[in-house]
Amino acid sequence: MADASPWRSALAASLLALSVSAHGYDSDVHQRLTFHAAKLLNRCLDGSAVAPLTPLQVRFIATSNMGLADTNFLVRFFRWSYYDPAADDSRRFLWLVNTRFVDHFEELATEIREAESPSQRYQALGRIVSYVQLVSSPSRALPVYAARFWRWSFGDRFDGYAVDDDALEAAVDAHACGFLEPAPADYRSVLRTAAADTLAAVRAPIGPLPTTWEAFWEPAGEVGEFGEYGPAGNSFGRRVTFDCTLQRSERCVLLESDPLYDAFALDRQVAAVRATARAMYLMQLDNAERPPAAAGTDVPAGR
């Protein structure tokens, strides 16, 4: 019998590469979005009857958030992080893949409601906001399946686009706090609103160009299915030339690290921060209704 080790090695390499794309943003990006959101929320809660987040609570959220992004690659491989907009209305699977996205999200929301330990609730919130942040990515929210095995491409280029912390902090600091009201009904509504906001952003014009960001990500024609990459392909951040009108009479060009890319990425990052802050706000509102002892933050042994 022929030696199967090369095939095993190839399979292992493919699984590893797939796992990189199975979650989206890396843990560092999740952490930065979370800290920006905590800062924004606490600024908005200054002088309010609702308690701000404490440093320890933020630590629980951020650590759990990063932990989900750094999950063992086999776990990530089978927990496909693609949001299914049809999950609210049907039980259809996306293509051949059961994303388990919404089911796991609901399990976490239940854990927040039922956990007796405050630290457990904030850790579950960290995993909740990880999913909320994911749907600020077009390929996760529409969704568009990123892996292209025949091209050795396993992730969406938007997910790896650099975060400009200075620009993000300035944009977040400039925001008013009206986005917190009305308060979200539940965590699912935070997720649903964030995903819908991403879809709206994809359907918006690419600056002055006669086309929309659907040139990069095309929503599915049928509810409950994957969309696909548009004429620009999986090229976010790269120099790309593509037909940008239905008549194909005009060609659009974006340059490497084009300012139009920067503006779109910043818009999505700000949206992720705001959605994260809304989820955090829901937790603080819930704490305000709990007995003082139950709303505090216990410190697990050894920490």
pLDDT bucket at 246, cuts 50 / 70 / 90 = low
pLDDT at site 102:
82
Name the token pair of 293: 């002892």
Say how many Å lie between the first and final Cα of the chain, rounded: 54
pLDDT bucket at 233, cuts 50 / 70 / 90 = very high
Give the C-alpha separation, 12 to 135, whole Å: 28
Single-letter amino acid code for the residue at 225: E
- Greater confidence, 225 or 270? 270
- The answer as to whether 2 is a domain residue is no
- The answer as to whether 252 is a domain residue is no
pLDDT at site 289:
82
Give the up-direction half-sphere exposure of residue 39: CA atoms within 13 A in the CB hemisphere: 16
- The answer as to whether 65 is a domain residue is yes
- The answer as to whether 259 is a domain residue is no
Domains identified in the chain, total number: 1
- Greater confidence, 301 or 223? 223
Dihedral over Cα of 196, 286, 71, 36: its sign: positive
CA distances from 209 to 139, 205, 251, 257 (A): 21, 7, 10, 16
b/e map 17-38, b = 16+ CB within 10 Å:
bbbbbbbbbebebbbbbbbbbb
Q: How much is the mean pLDDT over the chain? A: 82
pLDDT above 70: residue 63: yes
- Provide mean pLDDT across the span 52-69: 89
CB-count burial class (<10 Å; 0-12, 13-18, 19+) for 208: exposed
CA torsion 179-187-264-138 (nearest 10°) is -160
Which residue in the block uniquely carries the two structure tokens 């493919």?
Answer: 14
Dihedral over Cα of 88, 89, 91, 94: its sign: negative
pLDDT at site 90:
47
User: Angle at the Cα of 243 (from 237 to 248), degrees rounded to 5?
Assistant: 170
pLDDT at site 58:
97
- The answer as to whether 247 is a domain residue is no
Q: Residue 166: which domain range? A: 16-200+265-294
pLDDT above 90: residue 132: yes
Q: Before 143, cis peptide (omega within 30)?
A: yes
A 10 A CB-CB count for 15 gives 14
Q: pLDDT exceeding 70 applies to what percent of the chain?
A: 74
Q: Pick the most confident of 145-159, 180-194, 218-232, 239-253.
A: 180-194
pLDDT bucket at 13, cuts 50 / 70 / 90 = very low
DSSP one-letter code for 268: H
- The answer as to whether 214 is a domain residue is no
- The answer as to whether 102 is a domain residue is yes
A 10 A CB-CB count for 46 gives 9
- Provide mean pLDDT across the span 162-190: 92
pLDDT above 60: residue 1: no
270: CATH:
1.10.575.10
pLDDT at site 104:
87
- The answer as to whether 246 is a domain residue is no
- Greater confidence, 155 or 207? 207
DSSP one-letter code for 38: H
Flag the least confident range among 16-30, 66-80, 97-111, 170-184.
Answer: 66-80
A 10 A CB-CB count for 8 gives 10
The structure's pTM equals 0.83
- Provide mean pLDDT across the span 80-90: 64
pLDDT at site 281:
98
Give the C-alpha separation, 20 to 245, whole Å: 34
